[in-house]
Amino acid sequence: MEKILHQFFEFERLEEALPFGNGHINDTYKISLLQKGVTHHYLLQRLNDKIFQQPDAVMENVQLVADHLSKKEYPLFILKPFKTKKGALLFRDEKENYWRVFNFFENTISFDKVESTTQAFQAAKAYGCFVKTLSDVKINQLNTTIPDFHNSKKRMSDFLMATKKGLPERVAEAKNEIDLILRHEYLFKKINQLNLPLRAVHYDTKINNVLFDKTTKKVVAVVDLDTVMPGTLLSDFGDMVRTFTSAFDEDEQDFLKVKIRVDIYEALSEGFLSEMGSLLTVQEKENLPVAGSWLTLMQAVRFLGDYLQGDSYYKIKYPDHNLVRAKNQLALFQSMQQ
Ligand code: GN1
Ligand code: MG
């Protein structure tokens, strides 16, 4: 790790490197470096290049977003990548791992579950402000680093393939969940036909990608810019509904407890629309109410598809983790439908 950090910085000593955050894809560490007698903190990340197959294109997007936000009136702190001494945004080590470094936001906290309507309002306002500030980015300047990321029709055909070619015992075990998904396929078709405008969207608007100040409890930053790409607003609104409104996080195994909280839904809608309201097209506005169930069902499809195929995408902590996540998302989806 010291060798990697030396590519980016001069320092006397690596004081500490601690695993950080709850991301499902990359490996993240909080780093303490002694530099000229003073301790500095950074975020070091190994980019998962199985999932982000064009690491340089991802970093181009991240840099473009950081530069754009810096030039505008943007009230939050900005996540900025550091360059190596040679001027690159990534360092590739001898094992072909891709490493990058970001600024670390001191005295902040993130949540896996929304704790109050105030928190939901604030976080949604922050995401609203984020897309609003990016609304004049020419979307063809952004690389599409994960093609068909929220193309639910494509996700569904991959899922059908997984039900046929996946691990037979897992396909049998998940029969009820597979049937439930198949019964709601029409939702995917419906969203696919909408032809909503493409915007620069965040594409991963989970509640834990917003940082709050530990002391003031105010939002400080929107982080995780890896998936900023051309997409529709329903993705950002939908993933907020999915992760903010649930009374328990994605890993909760007592599925009876997993339900949409309507007061949180209302608070997040208000927060998001307080920033984005006037920029929405009529068609976007009309379809916001289905975004949450659409996105939640798609997330169930993604978790279950990964489970059926032997867990190659999401990091898991125990063998049935992806099945639990899928059941959890399906419980949330059903409560949204009600
Ligand atoms: C992944 O790694 P993380 O937690 O930021 C995923 C999102 C999913 C999310 C589910 C690139 O995000 O799309 O919604 O897990 N990111 C990618 O929790 O697939
Ligand atoms: Mg992410």
| 144-180 pLDDT per residue, tens | 999 999 999 999 999 999 999 999 999 999 999 999 9
Report the SS3 class of residue 214: coil
Over pLDDT 70: what percentage of the chain?
100
**Res 183: pLDDT:** 97
> What residues are paired with 13 via a beta bridge?
34
Structure tokens at 18: 């601690």
**Res 22: pLDDT:** 86
| Chain mean pLDDT for the chain | 97
Instruction: Give CA 94 to chain center in angstroms.
Output: 29
The alpha carbon of 332 and the centre of ligand 2 are apart by a number of angstroms equal to 21
Look at ligand 1, atom 15, and give the residue with the nearest C-alpha.
24
Contacts of 115 (CB under 8 A, 6+ apart): none
Q: What digits encode the pLDDT tens for the residues 10-31? A: 999 999 999 999 899 999 999 9
Q: What is the position in ligand 1's atom list of the atom closest to the CA of 299?
A: 14
**Does residue 334 contact residue 259 with C-beta atoms inside 8 Å?**
no
Report the C-alpha gap between 207 and 222 in whole angstroms: 10
Look at ligand 1, atom 4, and give the residue with the nearest C-alpha.
23
Report the C-alpha gap between 334 and 338 in whole angstroms: 6
Q: How buried is residue 78: exposed, middle or buried, by Cβ count under 10 Å (0-12/13-18/19+)?
A: middle
Report the C-alpha gap between 176 and 110 in whole angstroms: 34
User: Does the pLDDT at position 195 exceed 90?
Assistant: no
Best mutation site among 24, 47, 148 for ligand 1 pocket (most ligand atoms within 8 Å of CB): 24
Which residue in 162, 97, 202, 142 sits closest to 313, CA to CA? Answer: 162
Look at ligand 1, atom 7, and give the residue with the nearest C-alpha.
204
Nearest ligand for residue 321 CA: 1
Locate tokens 């379809």: which residue?
Answer: 287
The alpha carbon of 10 and the centre of ligand 1 are apart by a number of angstroms equal to 33
> What's the N-to-C CA distance of the chain in angstroms?
50
Residues with CB under 6 A from ligand 1: 23-25, 51, 204, 224, 227, 250, 299
Nearest ligand for residue 301 CA: 1
Q: What digits encode the pLDDT tens for the residues 241-280? A: 999 999 999 999 999 999 999 999 999 999 999 999 999 9
pLDDT level of residue 319 (50, 70, 90 thresholds): very high
pLDDT level of residue 50 (50, 70, 90 thresholds): very high
> Angle, nearest 10°, between helix axes 282-308 and 175-183?
160
Q: How buried is residue 96: exposed, middle or buried, by Cβ count under 10 Å (0-12/13-18/19+)?
A: exposed
Amino acid residing at 69: L
Which residue in 113, 72, 112, 75 sits closest to 218, CA to CA? Answer: 75
Structure tokens at 288: 């916001």
pLDDT level of residue 138 (50, 70, 90 thresholds): very high
Report the C-alpha gap between 231 and 203 in whole angstroms: 8
Report the C-alpha gap between 307 and 100 in whole angstroms: 29
Q: What is the position in ligand 1's atom list of the atom closest to the CA of 227?
A: 11
Q: What is the position in ligand 1's atom list of the atom closest to the CA of 243?
A: 18
Nearest ligand for residue 206 CA: 1
Q: What is the position in ligand 1's atom list of the atom closest to the CA of 313?
A: 19
Look at ligand 1, atom 1, and give the residue with the nearest C-alpha.
24
